[in-house]
Chain A
Amino acid sequence: MAGGREIKSKIKSTQNMRKVTRALEMVSASKIRKAQDLMKASRPYARAMRKVVAHVAHASTDFNHPFLTEREDVARVGYIVVTTDRGLCGGLNSNLFRRLLPAIREWQDKGVQVDVVAIGQKAVQFFRRIKGVNLIGSTTHLGERPKIEQLIGVIKVVLDTYSAGGLDRVYLAYNDFVNTMTQRPTIDALIPLPLVAAEMEATEGRTGAEMPNWPVAGLKLEQTHDWDYLYEPDAATVLDHVLNRYVESVVYQAVLENLASEHAARMVAMKSASDNASKVIGELTLSYNKARQAAITQEISEIVGGAAAV
């Protein structure tokens, strides 16, 4: 019965593993709800922000903000990459990296320098290994309730570099939460805003109505107003402030989307892990029973053989 005991211990350890994956699955299932609530709670702000930016961007001021002007020569691009801190969430992060890497390589082939800002431990680990990519800022361990102040630092790094001319375009990469079964790795233009509007129009089937989460959707930059705001203290200061806050809110939304995606992906991954564990346990139990049966049969035939010999 030596084989039997081995199989039994295997069954035991598989059962323990299934307990862990079940627990993780249930934890994630409850966290999805919370993440979705956070997403919902942040939407009014994003909506209001989008409205204000749309107004401000078209209001007739003679001041031209760098975020509103597209630069013709692109010498450096920046990526803000949002990933999870922890693993065990299926192919969530690797799918994003798989989309991101060709885009980065394409820029590099054109002789464009790529700078990356990492949000989340997995992005930090990934870009540490990638050659030729400059990691200019990172933040990790945002927790279950990400706060906007945890993101201020990295966003400021990007915006300051952009304003100083160190970056000509900034993209935002994250996992878009479609539903529990689907998370879409997404790379969106972040600044300058005309580029955002252009890419929105270029990507077919991604209209504002279908993407209620994306704050820029529906932002039409050619629209003009016949009135203007009273600015206090002056247009330049207010515009700068509004656009900074706007970018922060977009990145914050992406972080929340990614958080919801993380839990959804983990739940699905852990569910299939639990199912696989159950299957393995079934197979092992079968072979354990067979081994036991074989041992008994052998024992009986030995006894019978022994009795016959006597």
Chain B
Amino acid sequence: MSTIRCDIVSAEAEIFHGEAVMVVATGELGELGITPRHAPLITRLKPGHIDVVLEGGERQQFYVSGGILEVQPQVVTVLADTAARAADLDEAAAQRAKKEAEDALANRTDAEDIAQAQAKLAQALAQLQALERMRKNLKH
């Protein structure tokens, strides 16, 4: 049986690479089953599972919170997002970054710097926790 090389990578780590008989992923327009010699294709992924069927019928499952799927006749590449991404989440992050800069410019004294830094740290931790929780919810 012919196989197709499958690479699943995220920005922070390599998740899987090996030979597969079939790769099933949730594309933006629906489920895709990729077998060897598939036509070149590129699509965005929806949050969901990626099933890799190995030679011998063994299945491996991975969860991705989005990303890009690139297919070439001999290679499937999944560029997985590590974070939960959505347009309004990204927009909120951008607003935060802008505000942080404005705050940094507005407050010039050292004492305020420290308070600012602590507030930012607390804020960042809260955001991280929220994202973590969101990701857990998505998984279940």
Binding site for B on A (CB under 8 A): 38, 41-42, 44-46, 48-49, 51-52, 55-56, 117-118, 121, 124, 128, 135-141, 147-150, 152-154, 156-157, 160, 227-233, 237-238, 241-242, 245, 248-249, 252
Contact check, A52 vs B79: say whether CB atoms are below 8 A apart. Answer: yes
Contact check, A238 vs B11: say whether CB atoms are below 8 A apart. Answer: no
Q: Does B28 contact A (CB under 8 A)?
A: yes
Min CB distance B112 to A, Å, is 12
Task: Name the contact of A233 in the complex, choosing from B28, B93, B105 (C-beta under 8 A).
Answer: B28
Min CB distance B105 to A, Å, is 6
Task: Name the contact of A138 in the complex, choosing from B95, B104, B108, B124 (C-beta under 8 A).
Answer: B104
Contact check, A52 vs B77: say whether CB atoms are below 8 A apart. Answer: yes
Contact check, A45 vs B14: say whether CB atoms are below 8 A apart. Answer: yes
Binding site for A on B (CB under 8 A): 7, 9-14, 17, 27-29, 39-44, 67-68, 70, 77, 79, 81-83, 85, 90-98, 100-101, 104-105, 108, 117, 120-121, 124, 128, 131
Contact check, B7 vs A44: say whether CB atoms are below 8 A apart. Answer: yes
Known pairs A44-B9, A154-B97, A156-B93 / 5 extra A-B pairs, C-beta < 8 Å: A44-B17, A138-B104, A141-B120, A152-B85, A233-B44
Going nearest first, the 4 A-B pairs with the smallest beta carbon separation are A153-B93, A153-B97, A149-B83, A232-B43
Contact check, B79 vs A135: say whether CB atoms are below 8 A apart. Answer: no
Contacting residues, chain A, for B77 (C-beta < 8 A): 48, 51-52
Contacting residues, chain A, for B120 (C-beta < 8 A): 140-141
Contact check, A238 vs B42: say whether CB atoms are below 8 A apart. Answer: yes
Closest to B40 in A: A229
Given contacts A41-B14, A152-B90, contact A52 B97 (CB under 8 A): no
Contact check, B93 vs A237: say whether CB atoms are below 8 A apart. Answer: no
Task: Name the contact of A156 in the complex, choosing from B39, B42, B90, B124 (C-beta under 8 A).
Answer: B90
Give CA–CA (A136, B101) in the complex, Å.
Answer: 6
Task: Name the contact of A49 in the complex, choosing from B28, B43, B79, B121 (C-beta under 8 A).
Answer: B79
Contact check, B93 vs A147: say whether CB atoms are below 8 A apart. Answer: no
Min CB distance A157 to B, Å, is 5
Given contacts A136-B101, A141-B120, A248-B11, contact A231 B43 (CB under 8 A): yes
Contacting residues, chain B, for A249 (C-beta < 8 A): 11
Contacting residues, chain A, for B104 (C-beta < 8 A): 118, 124, 128, 135, 138
Give CA–CA (A237, B81) in the complex, Å.
Answer: 17
Given contacts A44-B7, A140-B120, contact A135 B105 (CB under 8 A): yes
